[in-house]
Structures are given as C-alpha cells and as structure tokens.
Amino acid sequence: MTNTLDQQCIDTLRFLSVDAVQRANSGHPGMPLGAAPMAYALWTQFLKCNPGNPDWADRDRFVLSVGHGSALLYSLLHLSGYDLSLDDIKAFRQWGSKAPGHPERGHTPGVEVTTGPLGQGFANAVGMAIGEAQLAARYNRPGHAVIDHHTYVIVGDGDLMEGVAAEATSLAGHLRLGKLVCLYDDNRVTLSAGTDMAFTEDRAARFEACGWHTVAVADGNDVEAIAAALQSARSQASRPSLILVRTHIGYGSPNKHDSFEAHGSPLGVEEVRLTKQRLSWPTEPPFLIPEPALAHMRQARARGQNAEATWSQRMQAYALAFPDLAAELQCSLRGELPSGWDADIPTFPADAKGMATRAASAKVMNAMAQRLPALTGGSADLDPSTKTVLKGGGDFNPPVTQTDDTQGADSGGWSPAGRNLHFGVREHAMGAIVNGLAAHGGFIPFGATFLIFSDYMRPAIRLAALMKLHVVYVFTHDSLAVGEDGPTHQPVEQLASLRAIPGLTVIRPADANETAVAWTVAVESRQRPVLLALTRQEVPTLDRSRYASAEGLRGGAYVLNDANDQPPVLILIANGSEVALILAAAERLQSEGIAVRCVSMPSWDLFDVQPQSYRDGVLPPTVPARLAVELGMTQGWHRYVGDRGDVLGVERFGASAPADILLREYGFTVDNVAARARKLLTGMRSVG
C-alpha cells in the first residue's frame, strides 16, 4: 500500500523526470515512470547518505546502472538536498548543466560512477561491495565497526543481458557479498522490443544458481512490499540479493504504457498532459514540486548529518583504541600515499641477460605492497603469467572449507581481508570491478591480463579514463615475442588503440629500472588510470652508468645516449624490448662514423604534456632523420618522426613460431634497423 504523502513524492519524482526529458526533447521517460516507487522506498527508508557531504566514507553506495534513466537520479538528488538545482534539471542534457544525458562521476554531486554502457554499473557495484567487505575485514575491530555500509544498484533488462553482468553475477555470488543489493526494474521492455523477443530466461533461477538470494515483488507500485524485500535483502549476511520488481515502463501513459516507445524518446507534449491527468497530477506548471513532498524528501539531509556525526564519533573512539590502524585507514580513504611508501622499491643492477619486465614488475609490486596497504587487485586467472600476486597478502575469498580446492592460493590464506583478488577468466567483469574499487575509495586497484585481452576490457578502461579513476592495468605478453601462441595471442593493434583513449596513460618500459619508475608514476597518478605494457621475454637491464637514468621515463621520452657527445644526425626511438635493439643498431652505426642519438620513449602520453622546450631537447627539430621502432602498428608514430622520418612496425597479424624467428621475419634485427637508418640518411643527403 502507498499512503498519500508517499504517492505525492513518487509522482513528484516521476514528473520532474518526465518534464526534464520533454523540455530537452531528448531522453528516456519510461524508466522513471515505472521505477520511481522502488527508488523512493530505497532512498527514504534505507539509503544511508549525507547530501551535505556526498563523499562521506561510510555512506551507502548507490549506482544507477540503467544510466539512461538519469532523469530519475537527478530528481532524487535534487529533492534529497544534494547540490543539484532545479535549474540544472530544467537544463537536462544541455551545455553547462549538472544533469547530463547519462550520470557522470565528478560532474554531478552524488553520482558514484559514470553509467550508460549497460552492465558496467552493475559490475562497478560488485567492486564497491568487494571494497566495503575488504576494508571492514581489515580494519574493523570488536566494538569498532567503522566500515559498515551497503551497496545498492538499480538494473534493467539490458544490464542483465550484457555479458559483463553475467561475469560479475557469478563472481559476486561466489564471494558471498551479503551487502550487495540489486533492484531489478523488471519492466520486460528494451529500447526496440519487448523482452520476449530475445530474453526469456528465468532471471531469478539464474541468480539463484550463482548463489544469490532472490525475492520477487509483483507490483512495482507497492512501496510496502518493496521495503519488505529490501529488509529481507539486508538480512542476508552471506548472499548478495536480487529483488525482481515487476514494473511497467511508461507507467500511467495512456498510449505508451508498456511500450518500447517510452524508452528512448520524450512522450510528447500531449502525451505528457494525458499521463499527468491519468495519474491525477496537475498538468501545469511543469517541474512542480509540492512543498510537503519536498519537505519529506529533504529529511535526508538531517538523517545524513546525524548518521555521519555518529560515524565520526565511532571513528574518534577507534582512533583512540587503534591509532595506527585508524591513521592507515584514513590515509587510504583520502587517497593519500603514506610516508615512505616507495622506500623499498628496488634498483636493478646492469645485466646483459636481464629479466622480463613482468618479472621486474612483480618485484616492484611486492616491495611497494608492504608499505602501501591500498594496493589491491588481481588477474583474470593469469597470476603465474602476469606475476601479479601480492605475496603474503592473502586471497579475497570466503573462508576455506574441507571441499575447497585451494590450488593457486597465496600463503596469506582465504578471507575477506585478502588483498589478492581472483577474478577467474572474467576480463570484462575485472575491468568494471576495479573501477568500482577505485570509485569506492580506499584502494589503488590493479587488474592484470595479457595485452591482447585488453580488448575484452576496453569499455571499462574507457570509463576509467572518463571518470579519472586511479586504476593500474598490468598487461603482459606485450608483443609478437609471445612466440608460439600465435596471432590470437600476439598484440599488434592494441597499443595504438589504447593510446587513442583520452586520459589513459600508456607506459611500455624498456627494462627493469624503467619498470620500477613506471610503477611509481602509476601509483602517483591519482587523477587518471595508468596502463603498463610488459614483456614476457627477458630484456637486458641497461647499464645506467653508461646510459641516462631510468627516471627519464617521467618525461615520457628521454635521451639514453648520444654518440661521443656529438650533435646527432640520426635519432633512433623505441620503447619496451625494442630499446635494446636500437642500442645495438646504434653501436654499429656509430662504428661507421654516424652520430646517433638513442631515445627511449615509453609513454607518448607523458611526453605530450611536457613543455615544448623539453620535447625539442629530446627530438631536436633540426634532426629530421628519425627512425622509430616498435613491435606494433605504426599508426601515430609519424607525429614524432616527422614527414622525413620512418617507422619500423608491424602492419599485419603475427604467426606461430619461436620468438627469435618471428623477430627476424618481421625485420626486428640489428641488420634491418641499421639498413633502414642508412636509407634515411641517404634520402636526406639526396634531398639536401
């Protein structure tokens, strides 16, 4: 049953949303009309938040995974007292408004994550629930529950159809995330059709099979039934919950009720009028907010202030009882780096044989992890290959039972406090989950796989860049040198593709010491994700008494050496494993009397933000003879080599063969690099 004030609040949410969409002449009115009651029940009876301080650490997290229903979220935020004005809602989807077409983290106060690509928000919520569970297990003490909140997410049919949601559902059930509650807007209509066209599985049975608690609400307008279902979900200590709420898209619209036409287009002026009449709402003025409804919804501010004040008192008591733990937790929650966090990062001695940069990365990660408690993550079932286990950090898993197969477990044991996340073979979910961890706060999360499988994660990587999340991607097996696994596992176009993402820093270090600096940059880069592309094969550890310091990586590109300190006539540029190749080629060319400069260029992104004077110092405009060498597509390199330069790259797929054979067949040899360089110089002379 719904009382009169409840109904007034629900209809206020509905028609603020509908009016915003209609004024913009763009948007999705159907979802707010159907889902407003469930959102209202959650926000007024259960959601722990403080509109006056949207970033309060122990707030409940709320994710609107059905981001096309953003107008409903903005109505909730405005009525609850967040810093989102009615004028912003009236300017929905317009330039300068805090109410963009889909929710954007950092743009609108109270929006936890950027949603729109379906399924991503749901998987983000799984990451947030993991974050709450791990922090609670690591820091709470008897009588001191300083981390104690829920994660709520509203999903739709489209979310549950996407593969990323299936992966995240499976993992969340396995991990027994009892504080994760999912409200399913079960309206059975998608953008173009009824779900009977393509989605007839038993959704409840699917989630139950994955270890979820499920409960169905037959009437999406029954606030009491929805509240009872939420209460039931909150009582589940060891199972995430799916509440299937039977709703109707476009509820109340005489001509678009239960129709896909209410999904992605405004109702139309006349249909808005008819819908308001049908639901006994005044047809004028638009954007009506009755005072009783506003007063009732604004109680969220007082509730939130009281809840945060109570939590602050708990934190003060906790800090007195456990000062070191409290200081560590607060540092992580603020996103700060503890003093001396980098004190143990190793420096690697020169070694002609060297080591794979993935192996160097493992040493660096484990050295940092001892002093950097926020570092948490894992791989998509590839720890032995990506070398990303935090030794002694424990495995984030339910406690071991007699029947569990613990192969691959870390020595720290299974528990919710474990810092090693086992994503299984689920790259899609891994990408979105680490985003959720970063958005939750308290973590520097990492996800690891082979570089080729970054394709599975690209939507999440793009969203991490869009949200400016502090996420680290550890992608190994970075080139044709993967060898016998063949073209399915040899990344060719991935580096070029990833470099095209605005706001993502891609770093491909040349040796162990560049890898150490790359990790330092990744940890320090709070406002953007960083991707490390690492080798499977061993690469020489450069003699830094002969070559420039690896700290030059911070500039994106730096001069490794010049021939006999003479002005260069030729510049060789490379990154990753190819740096050793250009150094060997340079020695040959120098023996012929050619003054060669060798430049290590591990990151275009870091180089491009340097002052022009620095960039000209590394790549002097007066030296047009430039050869770039990289085991990937040549796309993009010409901006650095210029019209008169050359690029040795890979313009076709790889093949199955030993790595040394592949490198020879694709021209990555000292002979070929030297020959291409000589040809450049010959061309310069003929032009001159």
Report how far Cα 309 is from the mean position of its chain's Cα atoms: 31
Asked whether the bond before 459 is cis by omega within 30 degrees of 0, the reply is: no
How many helices (H) does the chain have, and how many strands (E)? Answer: 25, 20
Length of the chain: 688
Who contacts 196 (Cβ-Cβ below 8 Å, separation ≥6)? 188
For 336: left if phi > 0, alpha if psi spans -120 to 50, otherwise beta; the answer is: beta
CA distance 674 to 589: 7
The answer to whether the beta carbons of residues 493 and 499 sit under 8 Å apart is no
User: Which of 507, 594, 584 shows the shortest CA–CA distance to 552?
Assistant: 507
CA distances from 392 to 303, 367, 383, 657 (A): 41, 12, 14, 37
Give per-residue burial for 340-369: e unless 16+ CB within 10 Å, then b: ebbeebeebebeeebbbbbbbbbbbbbbbb
CA distance 37 to 9: 9
Active-site hit among 112, 132, 271, 427: 427
Here the tokens at position 567 are: 């002005």
Report how far Cα 584 is from the mean position of its chain's Cα atoms: 39
At position 331, the amino acid (one-letter code) is C
514 given a catalytic annotation: no
In the DSSP assignment, the letter for residue 581 is: H
Give per-residue burial for 136-158: e unless 16+ CB within 10 Å, then b: bebbbeeebebbebbbbbbbbbb
Report how far Cα 396 is from the mean position of its chain's Cα atoms: 19
- In this structure, is the dihedral angle defined by the CA atoms of residues 47, 31, 113 and 394, taken in order, positive or negative? positive
Instruction: Give long-range contacts, CB 8 A cutoff, 24+ apart: 654-661.
Output: 654/480, 654/482, 654/486, 654/487, 654/490, 654/492, 655/486, 655/487, 656/483, 656/484, 656/485, 656/486, 656/487, 657/483, 657/484, 658/483, 658/484, 659/480, 659/481, 659/482, 659/483, 659/537
The answer to whether the beta carbons of residues 29 and 250 sit under 8 Å apart is yes
Here the tokens at position 43 are: 């926000």
CA distance 419 to 667: 43
CA distance 71 to 93: 10
In the DSSP assignment, the letter for residue 239 is: S
Residue found under tokens 């049953």? 1
CA distance 570 to 615: 16
CA distance 347 to 669: 29
Helix (H) or strand (E) holding 31: helix 30-45
Residue found under tokens 């829920």? 150
Q: What is the DSSP string of 438-490?
A: HHHSS-EEEEEEEGGGHHHHHHHHHHHHHHT---EEEEE--SGGGGGG-TTT-
CA distances from 295 to 9, 43, 301, 472, 613 (A): 10, 14, 10, 44, 59
List active site positions. Answer: 427
